[in-house]
Structure 1
Amino acid sequence: MKSRAAIHVGHGKELVVDEVNIPDPQPDQVVVKLYSSGVCASQLHQMHNPDTPTPGLLGHEGFGVVTQVGSGVTHLKEGDAAIVTWVPREPVQGRWRAPAAGVTWQEEKLEGSTYTWGEDAIVWGGYVVKVEDDSPRDLSSIVGCAVLTGAGAVTHTAKVRPEESVAVFGVGGVGLSAIQMAAVVNAYPIIAIDIDDEKLEFAKQFGATHTVNSSKVDPIEAIIEMTNGGVDYAFDTVGLRITNEQILPVTKSGGSGADNIGGMAVLVGMPGPEMTLWPGHFMFHQRQYRGSLGATYPDKDFNMYLRLYKEGKFPLDKLITKRYKLDDINEACDDLNSGKILGRAILEY
């Protein structure tokens, strides 16, 4: 079948929106007619990385309706409302991804095992999660990455509990999702850290109780002072070296003893090649540092997030602040790259 998609044709080049050819699904694939897709900074990393294979397809959080189902897929049927994501429904050991989808453009196969920057997507069935039929066509897309990544880091990686303290570095779509979930589980205080005062003010709508502009003050000193020693959990949703290195010293100190454990730093944003940490954080203070890579149980969590939205506890509608058409994808990427987007932007088809 013919469809339209945004194609990454080369490093440093604008995306090309053009007609592509989608084959019939393999036994383990499904085809989804998409209504919306999130615009995630992870795709900017891919576009700016000269090692990313091209030509290729991009996007990894979308919502639509299943239109074709491979013979080996049993959890979906035609007509199901579904979210396309990048996290397998069932855990796969190691850094694994499905094979390329098989889409062609100008008779050339396109790279990409999952994609949502297009009107239709053919993807491995394990990346497609059934949700309730009345799920909103526009808002549901960001559950497939921004929400699961930020909220999942809070609930599943850190397992934050009521009255535990939280600091979130970076208040884009992922950071705001972490802040909102921290509010849902009654964490306190919830400290938002960013370099943009407008974004910090916006974060208060999602549950931030305190804010720190790290371009004006030392965030480590500020957080330690306002918490009288450090937070229980600190999350880096940015991925820069400076934030990689700041989240551990802002956590509370532990000490000697079997259960005298310090705070936990959680790396959520895509990191660079290196960082430097003082080993004494681990030895003398028993602080912990770990990563969080899409910490979610898709079949259970996706419908939970959508239910929380319906109950007024997780404002997906406020989280989405910009909307674009597929033909405007380069403008959307430029706006995201230049920091013009509060929250999350989406494409609507």
Structure 2
Amino acid sequence: MAVDARIAVLPAGQQKLEIREVTLDVLGPYEVVVRQKAFGVCHSQLDRIYDPSRTESMLLGHESIGTVVAVGDQVRYVAPGDEVLTTWIPRSPLDGRSPVPPRITFPGGDSATTHNTFTWGTHAVVDEQYVVKAPHGTPQDLGAIIGCALMTGAGAVMNSAEVRPGQSVAVWGAGGVGLCAIAGAAILGASPVVAVDVDDDKLKLARHFGATDVVNAKKTDPVAAIRALTPHEDRTRGVDYAFDCTGIGTNIPVSLASVRPGVRGTGIRGGADVLVGIPRVPFQLDSMDLLSGEKSLLGCVGGSCDPARDFETFVEWTRDGRFDPSALVTDRFALDELNTAVEALHEGRVRGRAVVEIEG
């Protein structure tokens, strides 16, 4: 089945996306074509856009909601007409099969590829492992951001740290992923839930998602503020879990300092700092804070999520009103405004998540 599509391409050596027309008419055996309804614009894609070492044209994006319109001859999980959620974490073990990243060849012979999936366009071509059948009644706003922002932020709280009711949490960075971490912590019963950012508008939105306290790190010492908010019966101060969603290497020792230390001789270990944002350069830690405080530094990828299991949970949160995806989607764009969306994100003008909505 031939499918006419408009797909965003980041040409080699450029930082501006081009929307190109192409006919998708040859599928690999495990590939799925998804007609997009909406997709998120994730901060991690900026790293690829502004990467000076990139030498080939790229296809970008990794979270969306849409409808399957064509499948390869070995696809068994979905069929044309199914509504699906696209993500970048495989749905299930690959059983020894290594998915081949899709490569699109455009009229004129230029081709572009991606790391594992792409969503920026009217259509996406993805391996079936990167789509999840959308639970019935999945709202479009939720579907557009569930495959990265919600999975990464809330998943870190739910899976990587396994936060329990009454434990204290600080979320560093109240962007799209951070807001989802805040929401996840609040839903799971953490208290207090402290949001840290340098933007008062983002901190105001953080309260909507369940932050009990907010700290503007430009206006006050954030570590001192968090410690003041988190006294413990063992006379230590600090949160049980800090979630560093900033992706800024120099912030990691600061967020680690906001974590409660252990108590020597009692068997009480310190808390944990969870790396949610991706630090792009090496960073240094205060080794004595980590060692003497018996603290932990945890890495997590995609919120340690199993998409097939966890997406149902996230949809449940939305159905019963515990999570408000429409409030998270603070900026909406058309496909032809994609470069504007990227610029807004790069310049820090997106409070929550930017989403591109496809007409038709």
Shift of 1:25: 2.0
Question: Which one-letter code corresponds to 2:134 in the other structure?
Answer: V
Does the alignment pair 1:267 with 2:275? yes
The equivalent position to 2:216 in structure 1, one of 213, 217, 240, is 213
Following superposition, the deviation at residue 259 of structure 1 comes to 3.4
Specify the alignment match of 1:63 in structure 2. Answer: 65
Per-residue CA deviation, residues 223-255 of structure 1 (Å, 9 max, x unaligned), is: 112212100000111111222221211100013
Q: For the Cα contact (< 8 Å) 1:138–1:348, is it kept in 2? A: no
Percent identical across equivalent pairs?
Answer: 39
Match of 2:234 in 1: none
Q: Secondary structure of the residue that 1:57 maps to in structure 2?
A: coil
Aligned to 1:22: 24
Letter of the 1:59 counterpart:
G
Structure-2-length-normalised TM-score? 0.92
Task: State the AA in 2 paired with 1:319.
Answer: L
The DSSP-based 3-state class of the residue aligned with 2:81 is coil
- What's the counterpart of residue 283 of structure 1? 291
Deviation digits for residues 132-177 of structure 1 (CA, Å, limit 9, x no counterpart): 2432234311001000000000000010000100000011110000
Could you tell which deviates more after superposition, 132-141 or 31-40? Answer: 132-141
- Alpha-carbon displacement from aligned partner over 1:266-311 (angstroms, at most 9, x marks no partner): 0111102211112223322110001111121101111221121111
RMSD: 1.8
Q: Is the 8 A contact 1:21 1:104 kept in 2?
A: no
Tell me if structure 2 keeps the 8 A contact 1:247–1:266.
no
Would you say how many aligned residue pairs link Structure 1 and Structure 2?
347
Gaps of 5+ in 2: 232-236
One-letter identity of the residue aligned with 1:110: A
Match of 2:312 in 1: 303
Alpha-carbon spacing, 1:11–1:187, altered in 2? closer, same or farther (3 Å): farther
Kindly provide the CA deviation profile for residues 306-330 of structure 1, in whole angstroms up to 9, marking residues without a partner as x: 1211110110111111110110001
Greater mean deviation of Cα atoms: 170-179 or 51-60 = 51-60
Deviation, 1:52, is 3.1
Tell me if 1:76 matches 2:78: yes
Instruction: Report the residue type matching 1:101 in the other structure.
Output: P
Change (3 A) 1:135 1:263: same
Q: 1:85 to 1:300 in 2, by over 3 A?
A: same
Q: Indicate how the Cα distance of structure 1 residues 203 and 220 shifts in structure 2: closer, same or farther if over 3 A, else same.
A: same
Q: Does 1:253 align with 2:255?
A: no
Q: Which amino acid aligns with 1:115?
A: F
How far apart, in 2, do the equivalents of 1:203 and 1:193 lie?
Answer: 9
C-alpha distance in 2 between matches for 1:108 and 1:273? 32
Looking at structure 1, the residues matched to 334 and 201 of structure 2 have their Cα atoms a distance apart, in angstroms, of 25
1:141 aligned residue (144, 147, 153): 144
* Unaligned segments of structure 1, at least 5 residues: none
- In the aligned structure 1, how far is the partner of 2:139 from the partner of 2:313? 14
State whether residues 68 and 81 of structure 2, in contact with CA within 8 Å, keep that contact through their aligned partners in structure 1.
yes
Kept in 2, the 8 Å contact 1:65–1:79? The answer is yes
Q: Which residue, out of 100, 120, 125, partners 1:117? A: 120
1:90 touches 1:126 (CA, 8 Å); kept in 2? yes
- What is the aligned partner in structure 2 of residue 150 from structure 1? 153
Which range moved further: 308-317 or 8-17? 8-17
- The aligned amino acid for 1:286 is E
Counterpart CA distance in 2 for 1:266 and 1:97 is: 29
Tell me the CA shift for residue 258 of structure 1: 7.6
Q: 1:224 aligns with which of 227, 230, 237?
A: 227
Indicate if the aligned counterparts of 1:11 and 1:49 stay in contact, CA closer than 8 A: no
Task: Give the equivalent residue in structure 1 for 2:357.
Answer: 348
Letter in 2 for 1:24: V
Q: Give the Cα–Cα distance (whole angstroms) in 1 for the partners of residues 216 and 140 of structure 2.
A: 35
**Aligned counterparts of 1:45 and 1:38: Cα–Cα separation in 2:** 16
- Which amino acid in the other structure matches residue 31 of structure 2? Q
Aligned pair partner of 1:49 in 48, 51, 55 = 51
TM-score of the two chains, using structure 1 as the length reference:
0.95
Q: Deviations over 1:28-82 (max 9, x none)?
A: 1111111000011011111011223421110000110111122222221221110
Say if 1:49 and 1:297 are closer, same or farther in 2 by CA, change over 3 A. same
Structure-1 separation of matches of 2:193 and 2:340: 33
CA contact (8 A) 2:91 2:308 kept: yes
Match status 1:174 vs 2:177: yes
Contact kept, 8 Å, 1:34 with 1:64, in 2: the verdict is: yes
1:11 deviates by 4.3
Q: After TM superposition, where is structure 1 displaced by more than 4 Å over at least 4 residues in a row?
A: none
